Amino acid sequence: MNEALERLWPDILAHLRTYHPAVCRQWFEHIQPLSIQGGVISARAHSPVHRDYLQRQCLQFFNEAGQAVTGRLISFRFLGPNDKDARDAGAESERLQDLRQADALVINPDYCFDNFVIGENNRLAHAASLGVADQPGRMYNPLFIHGGVGLGKTHLLQAICVKILQQSPSSVLYYISCDSFMNQFFDAVQAGTMADFRHKFRDVDVLIVDDIHFLTKRDRSQEEFFHTFNALHQINKQIVLSSDANPEEIPHLEARLVSRFRWGLVTEVLPPGYETRVSILQRKAAMRSLSIPDDVIGYLATRIDTNIRELEGAVVKLQAQSLLDKQPIDMRMAQLAVGDRPDHAGQKPTIHTVITAVTEFYGVRLTDLQSERRHRSITIPRQISMYLARLHTCLSLEEIGGYFGGRDHTTVMHAIKTVDNRRKTDQEFDVVVGSLHEKLVHNGRPA
Ligand code: ADP
Ligand code: MG
């Protein structure tokens, strides 16, 4: 790496962690910056899955960080471990794209075995998934994982993909949703391209279909899946399926499919116990380089006891909140995050009171705030509204963004930081925001 980049790199990472913490992961430390040339920074990720995550979810944030740190227009280019240079990177991703097909589901590098917490609720499903990833087509075929929403089925399916791709990058792996299978089937029937369809599904080493219980709705796709299954199974190609119920309980599933789904191993994931929930929270926090005190972890694990997705949601909320308040995560924050509102919450101003106060003061309309307009006369009241909404309501960043023309939470977070910073340097501005704030404090209370 050249010297200039060596100096910039820590600042780029720091910028990302400050302004876009939600996308940052512990493993960002292992991204290897390679070169900066003609406004392009090349950096290497340690696997194609990580490279794809950076390219898909983080590119604009890295570009922004590069610009903030250098003061120049910067665009990032991410390479995988075997991509030799910028030109090869294109070829490599094209090749992988080909393997996984355009309509494959995106693999999330968070969903790897390392990040999966083993508990009594999922021990067998985990062991079986690991076995299948180590020896595709040899251990259990098919592997059928079922269980309720948010209990880790998709996580295990993707962990299998990640591991197989790591161990044998040339494997042809097709990971799709059941919906996508059916849609592609009907498209192929309509377009008369069944030969292509079959090639796509049958010339693979591993076929992984998420949420197979959706197969029930249309009969002809069941028949086609039956033949796909047989073709792959006969030549020992691995099949992995997930479902919200065990094969017998999937409504209208043909008996011949039920029996095939039972040929290998059928295993269930159950809701995690308290100890496992604690470990999951710790794992999710570590993954984001976040420190959460034990009492807060214990509290969250008690309050959220069914859906693991909600546990993760709470961690993400706490991270955003702690950044906003510039305070380490504490119990009060956690209570807000999971909805144990303080008693006087009912008296707080609503988002509408906030917006009315701001639009009245600036003489703008709500529709202006919701529009795409970027003129300062609009962006400033918009940012102040977001800032005050955050201070005075219990709405999440996402919810606030929703009120302003469906902007995402990073935009809201950016707005809040902008207002916060400007209040410190611009006295007049500070007085305006301060008085709007006061007004809300007093008017928000019922008379
Ligand atoms: P499902 O597909 O069963 O509805 P997901 O696999 O999407 O559920 O899991 C929901 C969330 O819970 C994901 O963020 C996933 O990482 C997390 N999760 C589920 N089980 C575990 C586990 N055992 N360890 C760590 N995270 C888990
Ligand atoms: Mg799922």
Pocket test for ligand 1, best of 113, 151, 300 (most atoms within 8 A of CB): 151
**In whole angstroms, what is the distance from residue 272 CA to residue 280 CA?**
9
Contact by Cβ (8 Å): 190, 155: no
Strand 238-243, strand 206-210: pairing: parallel
283 CA: nearest ligand 1 atom: 25
Helices (H), 71-136: 86-100, 123-134
175 alpha carbon, closest ligand? 2
**In whole angstroms, what is the distance from residue 145 CA to residue 128 CA?**
9
Over range 307-323, report the average pLDDT: 89
Length of the chain: 447
**In whole angstroms, what is the distance from residue 17 CA to residue 31 CA?**
14
Q: Which one of 250-254, 335-339, 392-396 scores highest in mean pLDDT?
A: 250-254
One-letter amino acid of 49: V
311 CA: nearest ligand 1 atom: 12
Ligand 1 atom 8: residue of nearest CA:
150
**In whole angstroms, what is the distance from residue 351 CA to residue 357 CA?**
10
Pocket of ligand 1 contains residue 109 by CB under 6 Å: no
Pocket of ligand 1 contains residue 146 by CB under 6 Å: no
* pTM of model > 0.95: no
**In whole angstroms, what is the distance from residue 26 CA to residue 379 CA?**
33
* Predicted local distance difference test score (pLDDT) of residue 447: 35
Cα-based angle 324, 437, 392 (whole degrees, multiple of 5) = 55
Class of domain 3-97: alpha beta
**In whole angstroms, what is the distance from residue 141 CA to residue 236 CA?**
8
Pocket of ligand 1 contains residue 283 by CB under 6 Å: yes
* Predicted local distance difference test score (pLDDT) of residue 95: 45
Contact by Cβ (8 Å): 16, 24: yes
CATH topology of domain 274-337: Helicase, Ruva Protein; domain 3 (1.10.8)
Token readout for 139 is: 């251990």
**Nearest Cα residue to 132 out of 27, 205, 194:** 205
116 CA: nearest ligand 1 atom: 24
271 alpha carbon, closest ligand? 1
Pocket of ligand 1 contains residue 309 by CB under 6 Å: yes
**In whole angstroms, what is the distance from residue 217 CA to residue 201 CA?**
20
pLDDT digits (tens, 9 = 90+) for 108-145: 999 999 999 999 999 999 999 999 999 999 999 999 99
* Predicted local distance difference test score (pLDDT) of residue 340: 62
**In whole angstroms, what is the distance from residue 427 CA to residue 433 CA?**
10
**In whole angstroms, what is the distance from residue 392 CA to residue 397 CA?**
12
> What are the distances in angstroms from CA 303 to CA 97, 121, 199, 296, 306?
42, 19, 48, 10, 9
pLDDT digits (tens, 9 = 90+) for 289-305: 899 999 899 889 988 88
**Nearest Cα residue to 64 out of 5, 19, 27:** 19
For residue 143, the cross-strand partners are 240, 265
* Predicted local distance difference test score (pLDDT) of residue 148: 93
Of residues 447 and 245, the one with the higher pLDDT is: 245
Ligand 1 atom 13: residue of nearest CA:
309
Token readout for 187 is: 């498209």
One-letter amino acid of 102: A
Residue holding tokens 């073709």?
231
Mapping DSSP to helix (H, G, I), strand (E, B) and coil, where does residue 109 land? Answer: coil
pLDDT digits (tens, 9 = 90+) for 367-422: 899 898 889 999 999 999 999 998 888 888 888 998 898 899 899 989 998 998 89
**In whole angstroms, what is the distance from residue 33 CA to residue 8 CA?**
10
Domain map of the chain by residue range?
A: 3-97, 113-269, 274-337, 351-443
Ligand 1 geometric centre to CA of 270 (Å): 11
**In whole angstroms, what is the distance from residue 233 CA to residue 296 CA?**
48
* Predicted local distance difference test score (pLDDT) of residue 395: 82
Contact by Cβ (8 Å): 315, 281: yes
In this structure, whether the domain defined by 113-269 belongs to CATH 3.40.50.300 is answered with yes
Other beta carbons within 10 Å of 332: 14
Residue holding tokens 């909404």?
389
Counts for the chain of helices (H) and strands (E), in that order: 20, 8
In this structure, whether the domain defined by 351-443 belongs to CATH 1.20.1050.10 is answered with no
